[in-house]
């Protein structure tokens, strides 16, 4: 940790000092919005966005990355450049800087009201890998379909994942169309083709890759953190009936590739430093290439994740779950080290989803498949409606935040998607 985490530090942007804000000066997440000159990199401060292209001349030696159309050039620079930029921005925005008045005069014209901004995808995502890092999710789902052996024997040794689709990754607020596909047929009959009847969400965190590695090279677990730029929220929309029919023998395909929603703000790993947590204790010790004393001590993240549902007939959303990323069986560094252990090359802007982030209690179950026990136990909403899976017009919103005594709480913002009707 460093001065940017100082809980006493405040900003001359007044909204950044309000209790409960997701974006105090201790956060400073990066995103991309639609500016006057096209896609523009910005940093969130309170309810404002600082246009980094407009003030890039004050951000040397990373000016070129700040003037880019996405975060990929910044992600490629590595931890020392990230830290330098974060420290510079914190100085420019803090209220007690010796030149705070001059900074405010120079930068205030380049603030954009967040409520008026159109947010875009923060990076050009070359590849998307979705892991299965929650042992609670894996066990809960396994119990639904394999009650005699819920957890497969490889789970405690290998971070399992599948290769996702990048072309259908959308930013928060984009409607999600109900997909069609083949469903499980009745005995002796051919499968049906039609709209999914089991549309689900999965609440996840996802990590953007920084510099990455060359093809054929690996990233050791001891250096994996140097290649993790930051985290966002991710909704891995899932058509469970399509998925159940198609996933053997090669895993998820059309049941997941129709849409993946991400939040627009990327909270840097440096901003998360006060909220790191020990890695979960494994009853089967990780293999050597996945083990690091530092990662075991502080590789987890104490990040609360909440999922909310609002139906077209509801005025206020209802919370469906509250979990925490610290319950993941595998740490972000282990995910990245495993991904490159065969020489697979990761590139700046690649995205690593953690998989459904469920925890040990019923209130932490991170998808409707778990909450409703695959539709067998419907939930009742406050207005009397029931749900087994999502219906047209339902809106799902994720929220993520970190809080710990002695530090200023920070947030990831929201990740929202509404199920659009088929036309």
Strands (E), 154-246: 161-163, 169-171, 176-177, 180-182, 193-195, 199-200, 203-209, 228-235, 238-239
SS3 track for 264-316 = CCEEECCCCHHHEECCCCCCCCCCHHHCCHHHHHHCEECCEEEEEEECCCCCC
Q: Catalytic: which of 5, 103, 110, 137? A: 137
DSSP type of residue 226: G
Distance CA 177, CA 173 (A): 13
The residue behind tokens 């252990």 is: 341
Of 198, 196, 267, 277, residue with least CA distance to 234: 267
Written as six digits, the tokens of 121 are 């995808």
Neighbours of 6 (CB within 10 A): 16
Omega within 30 of 0 (cis) for the link into 61: yes
Q: How many CA atoms lie within 13 A of 367 on its CB side?
A: 26
137 is catalytic: yes
Question: Contact, 59 vs 46, CB < 8 A?
Answer: no
Distance CA 300, CA 330 (A): 8
The dihedral of CA 35, 39, 40, 45: what is its sign? positive
The helix/strand/coil state of 38 is strand
Distance CA 307, CA 318 (A): 9
Which helix (H) or strand (E) covers residue 418, if one does? Answer: strand 410-420
* 3-state helix, strand and coil shares in percent for the chain, rounded to the nearest 5: 25, 25, 50
Helix (H) and strand (E) counts in the chain: 9, 26
Phi, psi of 394 (to 5 degrees): -65, 140
Distance CA 205, CA 413 (A): 12
Question: Contact, 52 vs 64, CB < 8 A?
Answer: no
Q: Which residues are catalytic?
A: 137
């Amino acid at each position: 940790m460093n001065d940017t985490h100082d809980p006493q530090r405040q900003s001359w942007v007044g909204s950044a000092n309000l209790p409960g804000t997701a974006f105090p000066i201790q956060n400073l997440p990066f995103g991309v919005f639609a500016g006057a000159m096209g896609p523009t990199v910005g940093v969130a401060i309170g309810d404002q966005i600082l246009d980094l292209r407009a003030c890039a001349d004050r951000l040397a030696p990373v000016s070129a990355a700040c003037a880019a159309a996405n975060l990929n050039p910044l992600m490629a620079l590595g931890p020392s450049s990230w830290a330098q930029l974060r420290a510079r921005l914190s100085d420019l925005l803090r209220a007690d800087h010796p030149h705070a008045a001059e900074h405010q005069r120079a930068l205030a014209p380049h603030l954009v009201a967040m409520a008026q901004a159109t947010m875009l995808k923060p990076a050009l995502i070359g590849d998307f890998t979705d892991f299965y890092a929650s042992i609670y999710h894996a066990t809960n789902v396994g119990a639904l379909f394999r009650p005699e052996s819920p957890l497969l024997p490889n789970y405690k040794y290998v971070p399992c994942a599948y290769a996702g689709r990048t072309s259908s990754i959308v930013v928060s607020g984009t409607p999600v169309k109900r997909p069609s596909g083949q469903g499980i047929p009745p005995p002796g009959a051919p499968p049906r083709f039609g709209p999914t009847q089991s549309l689900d969400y999965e609440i996840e965190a996802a990590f953007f890759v920084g510099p990455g590695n060359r093809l054929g090279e690996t990233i050791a677990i001891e250096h994996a953190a140097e290649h993790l730029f930051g985290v966002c929220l991710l909704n891995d929309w899932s058509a469970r009936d399509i998925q159940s029919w198609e996933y053997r023998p090669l895993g998820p395909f059309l049941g997941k590739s129709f849409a993946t929603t991400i939040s627009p703000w990327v909270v840097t790993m440096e901003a998360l430093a006060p909220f790191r947590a020990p890695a979960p204790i494994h009853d089967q010790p990780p293999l050597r290439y996945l083990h690091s004393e530092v990662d075991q001590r502080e590789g987890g993240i104490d990040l609360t994740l909440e999922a909310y549902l609002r139906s077209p007939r509801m005025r206020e959303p209802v919370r469906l779950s509250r979990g925490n990323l610290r319950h993941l069986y595998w740490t972000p560094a282990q995910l990245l080290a495993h991904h490159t252990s065969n020489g697979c090359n990761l590139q700046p802007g690649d995205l690593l989803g953690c998989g459904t982030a469920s925890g040990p209690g019923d209130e932490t179950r991170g998808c409707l498949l778990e909450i409703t026990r695959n539709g067998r136990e419907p939930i009742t909403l406050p207005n009397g409606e029931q749900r087994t899976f999502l219906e047209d017009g339902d809106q799902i919103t994720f929220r993520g935040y970190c809080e710990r005594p002695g530090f200023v709480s920070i947030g990831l913002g929201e990740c929202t998607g509404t199920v659009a009707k088929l036309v």
